[in-house]
Every structure is written in structure tokens, then in C-alpha cells.
Amino acid sequence: MIPFPFLSDPLNPDGFRPNGQEADRLLQEELMRAEYASGVPQLLRDFLEARLRELLDFLHEFDAMTSTPGKIMLLVLAMILAVLCAVFVRVRRSHRIEEPGYDLGLVPELTCAGYRARATAAAAAGNNALACLESFRAMVRLAEERTVLGTQPGRTAFEAATALMPAFPAQAQRLCAAAAFFNELRYGQHEASTADYARLRDLDAALESAIPHIAALPAPAATPAAPR
């Protein structure tokens, strides 16, 4: 919870009651706090500052007619609005992981063997998260090398898993879980263990040894006939 020291007891007759200019200064200082800067984009902060400035102007105009406690309560409401906007932005950011729209980050020149080597090296260095990421990429690259998947720049983890499920129905559940875990790791929402890496490595081996259900894959586009 963000503290508001000058608003701790607005109805206390012995407490601090800022006048219009003092309240303006305190509001500016409050909006510069790290809690707002880290959670609210600049455009939104500018919008909030403009709206709060209008509120302060309104308060200044009615300074003689409005009681100090009433003005302070309005300031409290205005700052609550700013806090809610900051929370809203942070919640939106934290839920981006659930959106299946993030690139796998495959490097065109790296083969499946190359990704497996990178996964092994990361695991040996104790970086289990990177080992899991590279292991999942190895699965996708292997599917491309076997022509189970076509090469598709910008493919996401969920797109890859969804495309592989018809070809490997026995591994469908594990593929879906692996794609979700990939996103959680890549966007910092989860930690990885050696057991997690072992599971992904086992899935990679299972996919390599399985015979894909080619009939379940989309038919390739027909080649146009040469003009006569």
C-alpha cells in the first residue's frame, strides 16, 4: 500500500492541513514516487497529471468556500484513481503471459542438434531456465527438419504445440504443458529446476522416436501447373 503521510488523519483538528499551493506541491511529489513511475507509462502519467491538475484548479477556485477536510478527501480520491491506474497497468502486464502471441525466438541457422547442445551447456552451467527454453526450441526445430512443421518465422510456442498435437496425439497434453511452461520461463513468471529440464528433454526424445501421423497434417499447397 502506498503511504500518504500528509493525509494520515484529515479530520484531526490538530493535524497538518495543506493550503492549495502546498497540496499542489505534495501531489506533484506523490506522483513522482517510484510506485507510479514503475507501473504507469508516460502517456498515462501525463493524462493523470492533467486530470489531477484540473481537479486542483477546481479546488483553488473554491478555496474559500470549501472546508479543508473536504478538499483533502477529494485529493485522496484523486490519488486513489492514480493508484488504481497503476495497478491496472501492472495487472495487464502480468497477464500478457497468458496471451499466445510471443515469438519462439528461433535462430534460422541453428539446427536441432545446435539447440540441444545449447540446452546441455546451459544445464551444466546451472541455468535450468535457459536449458528448458533451448530444449523446447530443439523440439520445434526437429519438427521443421522432419517436415512435420513448415518453417514459419514468428511462430509462437502455442502455435507450435497446436500444430504438433495432431501429428503426435499421444504427446498432446505434454506439448501443451511444455508450451505454457516455455512462455512462463521466457517472460519471468516461473523458475525452472533440473526436473523440469529432464521432463522437456524426455519429451524431445519421445517426439524424435515417434512416427508422426502424417495423415493428420495439413496437405501441402498444390504446385500450379505450367502454362501450355
Concatenated DSSP letters of 9-43: -TT-TTS----HHHHHHHHHHHHTSHHHHHHS-HH
As a whole number of angstroms, the distance between CA 184 and CA 188 comes to: 6
Considering the domain architecture, whether residues 77 and 145 belong to the same structural domain is answered as no
How many structural domains are present in the chain?
2
Q: What are the C-alpha distances in Å from 146 to residues 102, 139, 173?
A: 24, 11, 21
In the structure grid, which three cell numbers stand for residue 48, read together?
Answer: 493523470
Considering the domain architecture, whether residues 135 and 199 belong to the same structural domain is answered as yes
As a whole number of angstroms, the distance between CA 145 and CA 57 comes to: 66
Please indicate, yes or no, if residue 80 is contained in any of the structural domains: yes
Domain limits for position 48: 16-94
Q: Name the CA radius of gyration of the chain, rounded.
A: 28
Please indicate, yes or no, if residue 103 is contained in any of the structural domains: no
Write out residues in the chain with pLDDT < 70, as ranges.
1-102, 189, 215-228
CA triplet 201, 202, 208: central angle to 5 degrees?
A: 90
Considering the domain architecture, whether residues 123 and 198 belong to the same structural domain is answered as yes
Model confidence pLDDT, tens digit, residues 13-63: 444 445 555 555 555 555 555 444 444 455 555 665 666 666 666 655 555
What's the predicted TM-score (pTM) here? 0.53
pLDDT of residue 61: 59
Please indicate, yes or no, if residue 105 is contained in any of the structural domains: no
Please indicate, yes or no, if residue 1 is contained in any of the structural domains: no
Please indicate, yes or no, if residue 149 is contained in any of the structural domains: yes
Please indicate, yes or no, if residue 156 is contained in any of the structural domains: yes
Considering the domain architecture, whether residues 212 and 122 belong to the same structural domain is answered as yes
Considering the domain architecture, whether residues 159 and 186 belong to the same structural domain is answered as yes
pLDDT of residue 101: 47
First to last CA, the chain: 76
Contact between 103 and 38 under an 8 Å Cβ cutoff? The reply is: no
pLDDT of residue 7: 39
Considering the domain architecture, whether residues 116 and 180 belong to the same structural domain is answered as yes
Considering the domain architecture, whether residues 81 and 136 belong to the same structural domain is answered as no
Cell 479546488: give the residue. Answer: 59
Beta-ladder partners of 103: 156
pLDDT of residue 99: 43
Please indicate, yes or no, if residue 136 is contained in any of the structural domains: yes
Considering the domain architecture, whether residues 77 and 132 belong to the same structural domain is answered as no
pLDDT of residue 219: 45
In the structure grid, which three cell numbers stand for residue 13, read together?
Answer: 483538528
